[in-house]
Amino acid sequence: MAAGACVPVRVCHQEIVKFDLEIKAAVQDIRDCPGPLSALTELNAAVKEKFRHLRGRILELEQMAKEQDKESEKQALLREVENHMKQMLSNQAAWRKANLACKIAIDNSEKDQLLQGRDSLRQRKTTKESLAESASNITESLMGISRMMSQQVQQSEETVQTLANSSRTILEANEEFKSMSGTIQLGRKLITKYNRRELTDKMLIFLALALFLATVLYILKKRLFPFL
């Protein structure tokens, strides 16, 4: 191998290893890709570009191997080229498997989403029916409450009317009591006046009787005892 060829060969090896690792990481990303298909397409485009660079570097290494002066170094590099080609083919197989697994996973995910969408539609339909039934029940309950409130209002009106009648009766009774109280007070005054007059009459009768008796006694005295 020529002394000046050592650096390009080493650099070529490093780039081949770098692209190999990047391809393995990209294949793992494809395997783990949750979708959608547009994301998978972008990942595949990136992998294709890395394979293109890797194949170019392997071909460069093969060309360098053919240019070696020593047969031993030439054969060693060709064996490395063969190993890199096998590794690249293995990566391509893994890439195809990862794509297949990813597409199956995306298809299953889309089917699940479709089923979930149907379940969601069914659930929304059930929910709407349940809401309609609940609304009907609520309407019936509100109508029942409205009827109860109407009855309560009617009863309250009757109670208020009864209270008003009772109040009117009480006011009338109060007026009658006031009138009776005035009559009683007038009667009390008349009775007091009559009592006073009766006492005066008794005193006048007593005085008249006393005067009558004194007159009778005086007359008897003059007739029976003229000398006194």
pLDDT one-digit tens code per residue, 128-182: 676 677 667 767 766 766 676 677 667 767 766 776 776 677 777 677 767 777 7
Residue-wise DSSP of 173-190: HHHHHHHHHHHHHHHHHH
Q: Assess if CATH 1.20.272 describes domain 8-114+157-186.
A: no
- Which pair of structure tokens corresponds to residue 15? 């780039």
Q: In the predicted model, is pLDDT for residue 3 greater than 80?
A: no
CB atoms within 10 A of CB 88: 18
Alpha-carbon torsion (22, 27, 33, 38), positive or negative? positive
Radius of gyration of the chain (CA): 67
Query: Is the separation of the CB atoms in 50 and 23 below 8 Å?
Result: yes
The pLDDT, as a whole number, for residue 4 is 40
Query: Bigger pLDDT: 163 or 23?
Result: 23
What is the DSSP code (8-state) at residue 107?
A: H
**CA 218 to CA 220: how far, in whole Å?**
5
Helices (runs of H) and strands (runs of E) counted in the chain: 3, 0
Query: Domain boundaries in the chain?
Result: 8-114+157-186
Secondary structure letter of residue 69 according to DSSP? S
- pLDDT, one tens digit per residue, over 36-56 is 888 889 999 999 999 999 999
Q: Which residues have C-beta within 8 Å of that of residue 8, sequence separation ≥ 6?
A: 64
Residue 2 contacts residue 69 (beta carbons within 8 Å): yes
Residue 7, pLDDT above cutoff 60? no
Residue 112: which residues within 8 A CB-CB, separation 6 or more? none
